[in-house]
Amino acid sequence: MHRYAILRLRKITSGKGLDDAIAHNLRQKDVPNADPSLPVYELYGDNTDPKDLAKQRLNQHPPISYKSPYGIEVLMSVSREWAATHSADTGQWARLSKEWLETTFSKDSVLSCALHLDETTPHMHAIVMPVVDKHIDVRPWMDGPDKLSDLQSSYAKAVEDLGLVRGIPNTQTSHTTIKEFYQALERDFSAEMPAPEEKETAADYQKRLEPIWKAMAARAVTADRNKARADELEKLITGGRVTTAEQERSKNPETANKRDISQDISF
C-alpha cells in the first residue's frame, strides 16, 4: 500500500499569481472541489490580509531582478491510502509539516500557511517569500532538479515516524504538479449518473452504473472521515477561531467567499 509524503513546489512569477494563490489557499474565492461545511485553518498571522503582507514584503525586499519570482507556493500532502487509515494522526502530520516548513525556509519567510480539511485528502498550502541579501530570492531552494529532489527527501524524513515514505527518486510516475494534484481531486467529485442508452436493458444499465455508485459511496465515506478528522483537530488545535464557508454564509451571504480566516492557530 502506498503511503507517501507528498511535496510540490511552484514558483510564483507574478503579482496576479500571488494574489490568486492566497485567495485559493484562504478560500477567498470559490473552490469547486471543497466541502464548505468543513474547516480551513490559517496557521499564521493576525487579521492582516496576507495580500497586504505580500505587498509590504515586495516593497521592502524586491526580487533580485524584474524577471525573478515573487516567491514559492509549497504544497504538503499525503497519499489517500495513508489518510484513509490515519485520520487520528492528521494533527501530528500538520505539526511536523509546519516545523519542516519553518526549518527549511525560516519562519520569517513564511507569509501564510493554511491547512485544508475540506477536500478529499488533508493538505497544506504555504506561500513563502524568502529574503536573501535584502532581496526575495528563491534560487537556494528552486535552482535545479537536484535541490527540489533534496527537499522532497528532507520532507519525507521529517514525517517518516508517521509511516510516510518518499516516492522513488528520479521517476516521473510518482510526480505530479500542484495543478495535477487538484485535477485529481476534481475527478473524485465528477461522477454523474448517465442516462440509459437506447435499447439498453435494465440489467445492463444497472451493471454500467455500479462503478459510479461505488465512487459516490466512497465520496460519502471520505466526507465522514473528513468531518471526524476536523472534530479531532478541534481538540488538538488551541487558540484562534476557525470559520467554515457555511457558517459565514449564514451570517452574511454576500461575503460567504470573502471570509477572514487569518487567525493565529498554534500547534
pLDDT digits (tens, 9 = 90+) for 42-87: 887 666 788 888 999 999 999 999 889 999 999 999 988 898 888 8
Beta strand spans in the chain (E): 5-12, 40-42, 71-78, 110-116, 123-128, 131-132, 135-136
Residues of the chain with pLDDT under 70: 1, 45-47, 168-196, 200, 202-203, 205-206, 209-210, 212-267
Q: Which residue has the cell 487579521?
A: 47
212 found inside a domain? no
For residues 99 and 105, give the distance between their C-alpha atoms in angstroms, rounded to a whole number.
Answer: 10
DSSP bridge pairs for 124:
76, 115
For residues 42 and 52, give the distance between their C-alpha atoms in angstroms, rounded to a whole number.
Answer: 16
Here the CATH number for the domain that contains residue 66 is 3.30.930.30
Host domain of residue 138: 5-188+223-255
42 found inside a domain? yes
In the DSSP assignment, the letter for residue 126 is E
**Cα dihedral 82/88/93/99 (nearest 10):** 180
Give which of 82, 48, 9 is closest to 229, Cα–Cα.
Answer: 82
83 found inside a domain? yes
230 found inside a domain? yes
87 found inside a domain? yes
Q: What is the pTM of this model?
A: 0.66
174 found inside a domain? yes
For 223-255, the pLDDT digits (tens) are: 555 555 555 554 444 343 444 444 444 444 443
CA angle at 126 for the pair 120 and 127, rounded to the nearest 5°: 140
- Sequence-distant (≥ 6) Cβ neighbours of residue 243 within 8 angstroms: 39, 259, 260, 261
Total structural domains within the chain: 1
195 found inside a domain? no
DSSP bridge pairs for 73:
10, 127
